[in-house]
Amino acid sequence: MPALDRLTGQLSTYLSTDQVNAVRRSYYYAEQAHDGQLRSSGEHYVTHPLAVATILADMHMDHQSLMAAMLHDVIEDTGIPKEAIVAQFGDSVAELVDGVTKLTQMKFGTKAEAQAENFQKMAMAMARDIRVILVKLADRLHNMRTLGALNPEKRRRIAKETLEIYAPIANRLGMNRIYAEFEDLGFKAMHPMRAERIHSAVKKSRGNRKEIVNKIQESIAHCLEREGLPGEVSGREKHLYSIYQKMRGKRKAFTEIMDVYAFRIIVDKVDTCYRVLGAVHNLYKPFPGRFKDYIAIPKANGYQSLHTTLFGMHGVPIEIQIRTREMEELANNGIAAHWLYKTDEGDGRRNNHARARQWVKGLLELQQNAGNSLEFIENVKIDLFPDEVYVFTPKGRIMELPKGSTPVDFAYAVHTDVGNTCIACRVNRRLAPLSQALESGATVEIITAPNTQPNPNWLNFVVTGKARTHIRHALKQQQREESVSLGKRLLSKALDNLGARFEDISMPRLQVLLKEYHQEESDDLLEDIGLGNRTAHVVARRLLSAEDAGANPLAADGPLVIRGTEGLVLNYARCCTPIPGDLIVGHLSAGKGMVVHRDSCKNISEFRNNPEKCVPLTWAKDIDSEFNVELRIELAHQRGLIALLAGTISEADANIDKINVDERDGRISVIQLGISVTDRVHLARIIRKLRALQGVSRITRMRA
C-alpha cells in the first residue's frame, strides 16, 4: 500500500482525480486477480505490475497506459478473458493489455520461428497503438532489475533477448535512459565477471580523475558566465556496456577509453546552444572533423544535440554535448515524451512521435512483403542498427539511412518504384557504382528506366531491410511471371502433341484438376510446370479424357522454341555451355525451371528419352544476347602472348570474361579462355582468327 500511495501521489501532479482513481481501481483488480501468486523472489505477484506502472509514471505516461501496466499479466496468468477487461475498463485499455500479452509469448535462441512469429504480432500491436511497446519496455525493465531471483541459464537467455531486441528498440524510439539501463543490466547478467571488473575500474578511475574533472568543469562554467550565457555544466558518465563495446570493437585498453573526459551543457534555447558552442571553441581548440550538429539534422530516433571534441588542459580530449532542456528530456524519454505536458507539446515531441509512427509503418511494410517471419525479423534487426548517414536528394531533402547504405538503399527509401526501376546513379553529380557506400552530406540522384527489374546481385550489398524485402518480392514476382509464361508454353506444347489446345480445355475440367492438386488458380498450376515441379505431358493427360489422349506424347510435331529472354526460369548448363546454333534439349529440374543442355551432353544421356524430364528445344531466329563459351588453346610460348590473344578476340567483336594460363613446359602454353559470343557462327569466326595466329597448334571448345 505505501508503494501505491507514493504512485498515486506522483500521478496527482499531472493526472486528474478521476484518472488517478481509475489507475487505483485497476491496481485493486490486478491484486484480486493475482491473489495467491508469488514471483520467483517470493514477493506477491502484484508488486511487479505496480513497479511497471511506476516506471511509466516516471515518464508521465497517460492513465490508460498505467492501467494497462497494472493489468498486463491478468489475461495470460489468471485466466480472466479479454472481454472481462473490456467490461471493466473499456476497449482501449483491453487492447493495450491484449497487445502486451501477445508480446510475452516471444521466445528466442533456438526457437527462431516462434520468436519471429511473435515479433510479427508485436509489429501489428504497435501499429494499432504505439503505447503497447512502451508498456512492454517498462515490463521488461522491471524484469531485468529483478533477474537475481532466476537461475543463471534463464538470466542469460532473458539478458540475450533484451540486448538483441528490446535495447535496440528502446534506442530506436529515442528512450536513452531505458536503453542504457537495458544494456548495463543485460551485460551484468550475460558477463557478470567482466561487468564487475569494468565497474571496479570505473570506480577507481573516477577517484583518480576527480580533480581534473572539477577543474575542466569550473573552467567551462567560468567561460559561460564571462560570456553571459546561461547553462548547467555536468560531467557525463559512460555506461558499462558502452565501455565494454568500445574496448572490444575498437580493440582499445580501458585507460585509452577513460582518457576522454565527457561533459554535458544544458541551456534554455536553441540559439544559446550555438553561442555556447562558439564559447567553448574559443576556450579550447576543437578536434578537426569531430563536430556533429544533430540539432539541424536530428538522428532517426529524434535525438537532438550538438557534439564537439576539444583539446582540454594538458592536451586531454574533452567530449561536450550541448542541448536544451527539452532536448535532454527527449533524449532520455524518446517517444514517451510525446505524452509529457500535452498542453504545451513542442515540435520536438511531435516530430519524435511522427518518426516512431513512421518506423512502425515501415515495420508493417516489411512484414507484408517478407517471404516468411524469419526473413522479417532478420530485416528488422538490420533496421535497428543505431548508426546513420544523412544524404540529400537533388531537391535538398534529407534522407536518413543506416551506415553502409548504398544508392540502391537510397532509391528504395525514396520510393519502391524508384528502387525497382533503378539502373544507375550519380553521387555528388558524378556517375558512381550502385554498390558504393554512401557518406553523410552526399547528394544522390537515381537514374531510372521503365520496364526494368531489380538485379539479384543487389542483395549482396544492400543494407536496409526495406530494400532487401522489396528486391526479393520483385524477384519472386518476376520469377512467377516468367514461370507462368514458360509453363503455359510447355503445357500448350504437350497438349498439341495429344491433338488438343490449351484454349479448348473446359473450365470445369480445369477446376477439378486444380482442386486435385490443391491449387487456387490456373496460374499456380502453370507456375509449377514452369518451375519443373510438375511435368507438362502428365498434366496434359490429366486434363484430357482417356479417349482423347491416345496420341503418343513422344511424336512431337516440332521442338519448343526458346528466345533466350525467359529470365530466371531458364538456365544454361555450365557443363556444356550451349549457344545459338547448337542442337539443344531442355532438362526440367524441380524448383529451377528448365536447364538448357547441348544435345550431345553426357549429363542428360539418362533422361533424353524420358518426356517427363526432357523437352526437345530449338533456338528462335531473332536472339540478341551473349552467351559464355570456354576455349582451350595450345600454342608456342612467346612474348606478349596475352595481348596478342586479347587483340584478336576484340577484333572479332567478342569479350574475354576470364583467362587462365598454364605452361606445360618451356615451349608450349595452354590457355583457357572464357569468352562471350552471340552464336555458333560468331564462335567459328573467332576460332578461325585464332588459328591464323603464329604458333597456335590446337583449339578445342571445352566441356566441364
76 is annotated as an active-site residue: yes
- From CA 394, how far away is CA 626, in angstroms rounded? 36
The reported pLDDT for the residue numbered 525 is: 83
Asked whether this chain's domains 2-190 and 627-701 adopt the same fold, the reply is no
Query: Span 40-58, mean pLDDT?
Result: 90
Q: Residue 329's pLDDT band (boundaries 50, 70, 90)?
A: confident
In angstroms, the Cα distances linking 71 to 7, 46, 102 are: 16, 9, 13
- State residue 348 phi and psi, 5-degree precision: -60, -45
Residue 2, SS3? Answer: helix
pLDDT above 70: percentage of residues in the chain: 84
Query: Span 238-252, mean pLDDT?
Result: 83
Q: Are 261 and 212 in contact (CB under 8 A)?
A: yes
| Mean of pLDDT over the chain | 81
Query: Span 284-289, mean pLDDT?
Result: 87
Catalytic residue among 31, 62, 77, 365: 77
Q: Residue 181's pLDDT band (boundaries 50, 70, 90)?
A: very high
In angstroms, the Cα distances linking 166 to 92, 119, 353 are: 24, 11, 18
- From CA 250, how far away is CA 252, in angstroms rounded? 5
Residues 6+ apart with CB under 8 A from 414: 393, 399, 446
Place of cell 535495447: 167
Retrieve residue 562's grid coordinates: 526458346
CATH entry 3.10.20.30 includes domain 387-463: yes
Q: Are 72 and 139 in contact (CB under 8 A)?
A: yes
- From CA 197, how far away is CA 505, in angstroms rounded? 77
- From CA 594, how far away is CA 604, in angstroms rounded? 13
Q: Residue 223's pLDDT band (boundaries 50, 70, 90)?
A: very high
- From CA 389, how far away is CA 400, in angstroms rounded? 6
Least confident of 87-101, 283-297, 556-570, 584-598: 556-570
Q: Cα 661 to chain center, whole Å? A: 42
- From CA 526, how far away is CA 69, in angstroms rounded? 52
Residues 6+ apart with CB under 8 A from 380: 119, 123, 363, 366, 465
Report the first-to-last Cα separation within the chain, whole angstroms: 81
Query: Span 464-484, mean pLDDT?
Result: 83
- State residue 557 phi and psi, 5-degree precision: -95, 15
Beta-bridged to residue 445, according to DSSP, are: 426
Q: Residue 102's pLDDT band (boundaries 50, 70, 90)?
A: low
* Of 386 and 601, the one with more pLDDT: 601
Retrieve residue 435's grid coordinates: 554498390
Catalytic residue among 31, 76, 345, 481: 76
Q: Which H or E element spans position 662?
A: strand 655-663
- From CA 452, how far away is CA 420, in angstroms rounded? 7
The reported pLDDT for the residue numbered 573 is: 86
The CATH topology of domain 627-701 is Alpha-Beta Plaits (3.30.70)
- From CA 534, how far away is CA 541, in angstroms rounded? 12
The reported pLDDT for the residue numbered 422 is: 93
pLDDT of residue 80 exceeding 80: yes
User: pLDDT tens digits, residue range 561-604?
Assistant: 777 656 656 788 888 889 888 888 888 776 666 788 988 888 88
The dihedral built from the CA positions of residue 435, 436, 439 and 445, taken in this order, carries a sign that is negative
Q: Are 103 and 79 in contact (CB under 8 A)?
A: no
Q: What share of the chain is helix, strand, coil (3-state, %, to 5)?
A: 55, 15, 30
Residues 6+ apart with CB under 8 A from 663: 637, 669, 670
pLDDT of residue 656 exceeding 50: yes
Place of cell 524430364: 613
Helix-helix angle 63-71:91-103, to 10 degrees: 50
CATH entry 3.40.50.300 includes domain 196-340: no
Residue 306, SS3? Answer: strand
Kind of pairing between the strands at 570-572 and 388-392: unpaired
With CA atoms as reference, report the closest residue to 30 among 66, 73, 61.
73
Q: Are 77 and 37 in contact (CB under 8 A)?
A: yes
pLDDT of residue 271 exceeding 70: yes
CATH of domain 2-190: 1.10.3210.10
* Of 394 and 552, the one with more pLDDT: 394
Q: Are 403 and 385 in contact (CB under 8 A)?
A: yes
Q: Where are the domains of the chain?
A: 2-190, 196-340, 387-463, 473-619, 627-701
The dihedral built from the CA positions of residue 364, 370, 372 and 374, taken in this order, carries a sign that is negative
With CA atoms as reference, report the closest residue to 199 among 251, 237, 145, 147.
237
